[in-house]
Chains A and B, each alone.
Chain A
Amino acid sequence: MDRMKKIVLFLEWGSILGLLGCGLWVFLWTPLEISQGFPQKIMYLHVPTVIIAYLAFFVVFVYSIAYLWKRELMFDQMAKASAEVGLVFCALVLITGAIWGKPIWGTYWAWWDVRLVTTLLLFLIFMGYFLLRMSINDRDKEARLAAVLGIIGCLDIPIIHKSIEWAKGRTLHQPSTFFKVETGEINPSISDVLSDPLPVAIFFMLTLYLYLLLLRYQIEKHQDELYQLLAETQD
């Protein structure tokens, strides 16, 4: 078995077992939060999904810049792979957030909530990213234009993150639970027993992301090999 296969297998089983363990921790050993009750358990799913979606799109940002700079196909393959995985995470952010919102806010969605709308915008930008890729036949032009759109799309992430501070009163979201908004200092407003599973869930969701990224990257690599082989056989 080659090295890549070993790493993929390790990440696959590490993330599955780790996330299963996190689930057991959250449902069996973490007490109920007083104000939200049972729906607060969605936090352990929603927050890590948000962080990994941000990370996936940040990876798109980095590899898109690298592609525009160096023009190496490998950078575009990584950006495309990360964008697809990020899109799945982003869709789940919107879905789990809406489900969490119903018992807590009394609604699944509010069009006036800046954070909700900017997150939806991020999702739509990256849907457009794939439509753009599908509509161009020239491989180099596709990579170039997708890299530009990928960079522009990622600029929405700081806007989503800071939207609560910038648009006071136009959001249902609460200010950060773990940081002081004014100074950025760590200042958790929930007890340790409730916040402890969160970093562990983020870690195992990161392993899931890396696993999916490697899987998707291999597909991209094979597809480009395929186009090259087809071009050679046609010649």
Chain B
Amino acid sequence: MTSVDWAIVAIYLIWIVWGGIRLTKRTKELEGYFLGGRSLPWWAVGLSVMATQLSAITMVGTTGQGYASGMRFLQFYFALPLAMIVLSVTLVPFFHNAKVYTAYEYLERRFDAKTRAFTSLLFLISRSMSLGVVISAPAVVFSVILGLDLTTTVLLIGAPAVIYTIFGGVQAVTWVDVKQMGLIVGGLIAAVVMLVAGLPDEVTVPQALRIAGAAGRLQIFDFSFDLTNQYTFWSGTIAALFLFCSYFGTDQSQVQRYLATDSVDSARESLMISAYWKIPLQALVLLVGVFLFLFFLYTPSPMLFNPVHERAMREGPHAAEYRELESRFEAATASRSASARVMGRAEAAGNTHDFEAARGEFQRQDAETRTVRAAAIDLVRRATGDAAYSDVNYVFPTFITQHMPIGFPGLLVAAILAAAMSAIGGELSSLSTATVIDFYRRFVRAEASDAHYLGVSRVATAFWGLFASIVAVWAAELGSLIEVVNRFGSFFYGSILGVFILAVGFPRATANGAFVGLVAGMGAVAWAASATNVAFLWHNVIGAVTVVIVGLAVSMLLKR
């Protein structure tokens, strides 16, 4: 990164933080701070909802996934538009008309205080830990790629969002998100343009796409019905429907946004933005990954994209084994590149026979490249003891910092920071809301002035920002703990959806029935996760269905 690039990043951060702080004057009361006075326009809320889901992990992780495995991950989002319609018809009017601050507050009105407190507590635990991961994942990548200390990159990513959220509340989060979305989409389009420009002159875009297709990178649909396979058409349209209904319908980080609109229809309209644009946007992110694959097909690439591990392997006790793998990798990538060029020439000449022969050779060499890379990653895992090691998060940042012309690295790093900040701001604001509304105002001090609650809310936002930053800095050491908490969070997603289905759809359901159902649903998911190979998306279905069945059964039994 040159000084020009750093200047772009610095100017962007100052502009964003200043813009957020300026909104402080509009947050004189609690409703303004947490819900924007219930008067934010639907289009701004809709863009903010999209920005919150699009974290830096999406920018670096999903593009890396596109590079390594192609576009099949897109199936994960197929149910999202359907979930938006389901929620608009069901939960959105209930929340909006109830004039609540949190989704869990509604559960006390329908059931009792313990169901509200338990679900809100589960949200606080899982969301605060996942916020740590949202900060740490890009912080670790930036630390390696830019050669900065991890604490510095955690502060670079976390501090601006914490500052503008403390001062400006949900208004700042929403309006900053609108700017962030513009930069993120602009950055992704700029990346595609630069990647296409980086292809050899004789390779046209359709030819390049045919080569990506031959390597299986454009395989999107998998119609096999296999409950153990994470990404299929069926898990993406049926199981993910439960996940998205739970995420957008019961997770405070999402619900809080559409509660900030002025009417039920505005809330619905805000969700329709995601319904229309989420799949195309995610396709664009994965397409960046596919073009990264094409770029590194013609440009020599490192075998491992994490330079720290690459150096450690080259100089460590496994150096000889690594060197041997590297020789195989260089030979395979050179042959793969040559075959791709022959494919292009044969296609241009209309020579089907040569094209098919080159295609077969290309696929063999691509398979060999994957095998060698997998062996190198396995070697790193054995050497470091990190069984989950992967370097896909480093592919896009490597391209940005080493292959883009001056100015563009600054733009793209700012876009990745924007994605991180938009997720952090939204999640921080929701953590603060749940803390103050579901616990402080409910159990500690029920009657106080707005100024008092506003002060406590700002302290809560600062506390969660500090907590998530500490988790982020210690994420490597806390690895197994974070995994446990995230697993715990996944037990809870389908189950909490089940509680809301009981609340809204079954007047006969009682408070005790819902509570026992929630515990049973989490237990069922814990069993499915530990005793079966069923893919995690289906856990949401298991959790929701168990809660509804057990909840109704207990409700009826206890009524008698």
A binds B: no
Give chain A's interface residues, CB within 8 Å of chain B.
none
